[in-house]
Amino acid sequence: MRIGVAARLALAAALRGDFPAASPCASRRPLNQPRPLQTSPLIRHLLRITVACSIASSIATPTLAEEPEDVDGGLSLEETAKQLNNPISSVWNIVFQNNYTLLDGDISSKTRHRWLTNFQPVLPIPLTQELNFIARPIIPFLSAPVPDALGGFDQVEGVGDIAFQAFLSPSTSSGFLYGVGPLFQFPSASDDRIGSEKWSAGGAVVALNVSKNWVIGGLLNHTESFAGSDDRRDVSTTGLQYFVVRMLPNRWQVGTGTPIITANWKAGGGDKWTVPIGLSVGRTMRAGQLPIQLSFEASYAVVHPDTFGERWNFRLIVKPVLPALVRKPIFAR
């Protein structure tokens, strides 16, 4: 596929953040005109990601009608699209999960927003012919409203607590699949106000069914803190990420998205549960020789914390496929 010069320049500019500047005439505004909104570095970074993904999608569109070819690992593009919805598949990929969340509650006089980008490589390593080890580090970058001592809110930006999740799973790719493994969370936040200041550990189990046109399943995890700052509340949380995906012709897909039902067992009665329901649409395509899946989700928390918590969440997910760095089983017979 050939990419035009203009498209290449637009994509490069988006990645660098070189958006067009206003003309000198445009910079002169009437005295009664409101000052333009000033965006933070983190929000500008998320905007660059969104613009770059949109340009990449438009660049890749001409190749969608082409006959699908095998990708890394011998899978067709159709099968790759299905496996990218399987959290324990054998396809190496990177998940860029961009979230824009609207939050509200009793302590807030208005609806507030949170930006969150999760950087999550999915790295399946074959241990034997029948067993895979799947490593899933999760690095969050966020800009979130945090209550201050005066009854207001500060918008705090930085890196959140990094998590590491791993699964042992049979190396099959269809039918009933399952995986189990540990989950660790580290007090790595760049600002204490957007982190737990706690060392936490727990476990996770995933179960799903992959058929010709459906991917249906859930991922259940639980974490408990075991060390950290005595000034912070202990961590005891349970999460259930559920997903129902219907595969459509030409590698389109629709479904529930990947909302997470959470229970914070250390919170008060009206603040324990967050239960979102959502819808999503996505498509798997090629950007040059790179298979990539783009999807958009919207969800609403039908049950949410009374004090302060999630109401609406909008999510853009970009999943480029990586060449497998480990192909042969480590413990080959």
* Residue 220 included in any domain: yes
34 burial type by CB count under 10 A (0-12 exposed, 13-18 middle, 19+ buried): exposed
Total structural domains within the chain = 1
DSSP, collapsed to helix, strand or coil, labels residue 125 as strand
What is the structure's pLDDT at 332?
A: 76
178 vs 248: CA distance, rounded Å: 24
108 vs 103: CA distance, rounded Å: 9
Q: State the CATH number of the domain containing residue 105.
A: 2.40.160.40
* Residue 314 included in any domain: yes
Assign 5 a pLDDT band (cuts: 50, 70, 90).
Answer: very low
Instruction: Name residue 141's amino acid.
Output: F
Predicted model pTM: 0.80
* Residue 54 included in any domain: no
198 near 228, Cβ under 8 Å?
A: yes
On the question of pLDDT at 20 being above 80, the answer is no
DSSP for residue 61: G
* Residue 249 included in any domain: yes
Domain of residue 261: give its range: 76-320
312 vs 111: CA distance, rounded Å: 10
| Distance from the Cα of residue 313 to its chain's centroid | 12
On the question of pLDDT at 235 being above 50, the answer is yes
pLDDT in tens, 137-190: 999 999 999 999 888 999 999 999 999 999 999 999 999 999 999 999 999 999
Beta strands in the chain (DSSP E): 93-104, 112-126, 131-147, 153-159, 163-170, 175-185, 198-210, 214-228, 236-247, 252-255, 260-264, 273-287, 290-303, 309-320
What is the structure's pLDDT at 75?
A: 85
* Residue 29 included in any domain: no
On the question of pLDDT at 229 being above 80, the answer is yes
CA-nearest of 122, 135, 225 to 182 is 135
pLDDT in tens, 247-297: 999 999 999 999 999 999 999 889 999 999 999 999 999 988 899 999 999
